[in-house]
Amino acid sequence: MQRQRQIGPFTVPAIGLGCMNLSHAYGTPPPPEQGERVLLAALDAGVTLFDTAALYGFGANEELVGRVLQPHRQQITLCSKGGMAGVKGEDGVTRRVIDGRPAALRRNCEDSLRRLRTDVIDLYYLHRWD
């Protein structure tokens, strides 16, 4: 039996899947189809804790996670982070912005809910202090 951990009201496996590298960092991310296969393989292997963030791929990671995991939403614990996100500047270039103010977190969370295709993010936390 897999070890379990308590995170607030959630009992989750000790091992979850951090989804960042499916859309962000560590070199060129894999194509979305490969990311989808990784997420589904994780589900098949019994992973029920998935962690993403508004920053990862400037929202692309949450879109991938939302699209693939929406049909399984009741079986998973979904985590995301705000306070650090991609913001399009006046020059049209999207850049990482660290902003932990309440209004920015609310905007990040609303954007994340839409991208994740859910009305609840089980664990939502501050990505980085500003």
Catalytic residues: 56
Do the beta carbons of residue 86 and residue 59 sit within 8 Å? yes
Quickly tell me which residue has 């000790």 as its tokens.
14
Collapse the DSSP code of 102 into the 3-class scheme (helix H, G, I; strand E, B; otherwise coil) and give the result.
helix
Three-state DSSP at 81 gives: strand
Kindly write down the DSSP assignment for every residue of 3-53, as one continuous string.
Answer: -EEEETTEEEES--EE-GGGTSSSSSPPPHHHHHHHHHHHHHTT--EEE--
Helix spans in 30-125 (H): 32-44, 60-69, 102-116
